[in-house]
Structures are given as structure tokens and as C-alpha cells.
Chains A and B, each alone.
Chain A
Amino acid sequence: AQKITQTQPGMFVQEKEAVTLDCTYDTSDQSYGLFWYKQPSSGEMIFLIYQGSYDEQNATEGRYSLNFQKARKSANLVISASQLGDSAMYFCAMREAGAGSYQLTFGKGTKLSVIP
């Protein structure tokens, strides 16, 4: 079973509108971290936002917020007031705290296109 599932291969959003990118995850660990990264066409993975499994409040960073629903194992990224520069691939990733688990496990990504 996939550990990270992103079901939207591509999304379109009008400039200045909000958009939600979906992410569900699968883990038996109680302690884990969830991350969102942005990858523009230049290729670099840019860290956007982090949510810890024990955090009671949803994480926010500027125009980015993470809608964390632990019981549903869901960690959706919400981008408010979309800008043309938000057009990119977006990856959801998880890091489990179990012994020896140091790496990030990524989903397949969602390509976001912002329309003027």
C-alpha cells in the first residue's frame, strides 16, 4: 500500500482564488511528521509547511495552511489568494519516527496551474 497518496495529478485555479491539494497517508506510527514541498520547473524542492502528528493546531505559513485531520489520515494543503508564481508541482511527504526511519516518503505530486 502506498504510504502517501495524492489523488489529483493536475489542478487548475484562478489567480487570487484559494485551492486545496489533497493528501492522505498511511502509517502505524504514533509519531510522525507531514511536509509539503513545492517543485517549480527549475527542479528545486522548496519546503512549504510542516505538521507534527501531536500538533493540535493546524499549521500555517503565510498563504499556506495545512488542514490536518488525524482520524482520517488526511493532510491537505490550502493555498489562499493564488498567484501566478504558485504554478508548480506540489509534493506531500511523511517522515515516520520509528527506529531507522530517517527518510521522507513522497507522494506522486499534484501539478498546480494558476490561470490569470
Chain B
Amino acid sequence: GAGVSQSPRYKVAKRGQDVALRCDPISGHVSLFWYQQALGQGPEFLTYFQNEAQLDKSGLPSDRFFAERPEGSVSTLKIQRTQKEDSAVYLCASSPTWGGSTDTQYFGPGTRLTVL
């Protein structure tokens, strides 16, 4: 079956522009996660959805970052007034159930954001 898909794969923005990154999780997956991966680092957690409810947004670095999943499937990560330090790969992951410690997360290919 289809895996997690993300679009666009690459995004170049001028500093100060707003961007929107899309994630299509695996069909039927309850949980959806966003991670940020800086160059040469491991991914870092941004936010978590269980269906349409955003249960954890503790990793969002500032109030310029906003995520939504209004119908419990597709999710959008929006970054307002982008800054150079926002340049990173943004990874989306989904998992089948509510997110226990045994629940495997399946990742998309990521969106590489470059802010000039």
C-alpha cells in the first residue's frame, strides 16, 4: 500500500515568507507526527496529532510554527515569516494506533526547506 507522502519535496523561501508543508499519512493511521531535522542531526519532535486533536505541540520552536489536521487525515505544517534558522528537513510520520511505546512510526520522504 501507499506510504506516507509529503509535498513539496523541496521548498525555497525568501526570509519573511510564509510556507505550508503537506503530509498525507498512511490511510487509517490514527497518529501523525512532525519532526524537524537539521543538517547532520537526528530528527527532533515538533508536534503530535491523534486523529484531528493536537495532543502535543511542545516541540514547536516558536509561535511562527502552526500545524493542523482538521479531518484527521492530511496535515499541514505552516511556518510564518520564515527565518534562516528554519532551514531544515521537515519529516512527517504516522503510526497505526494511539501512540504507545510499541507503536512503530512510518516516515515520509521529508520536505527540504531552504530559507534565503
Contacts and interface: CB of A to CB of B under 8 A. Distances in A.
Interface of A: 4, 31-33, 35, 37, 42-47, 50, 52-53, 91, 93, 95-97, 100, 102-109
Interface stretch (B19-27, B65-73, B77-85, B100-108): B100-108
Interface size class of B (residues with CB under 8 A): 20 to 34
A107 B109 contact: no
Highest count of chain A CB atoms <10 Å: which of B40, B43, B108: B43
B104 A47 contact: yes
Contacts, number: 71
A103 B40 CA distance: 20
A109 B40 CA distance: 8
Nearest to A107: B42
11 contacts: A33-B103, A43-B112, A45-B93, A45-B107, A47-B105, A91-B43, A96-B101, A102-B50, A102-B99, A103-B45, A106-B43
Highest count of chain A CB atoms <10 Å: which of B45, B89, B101, B103: B101
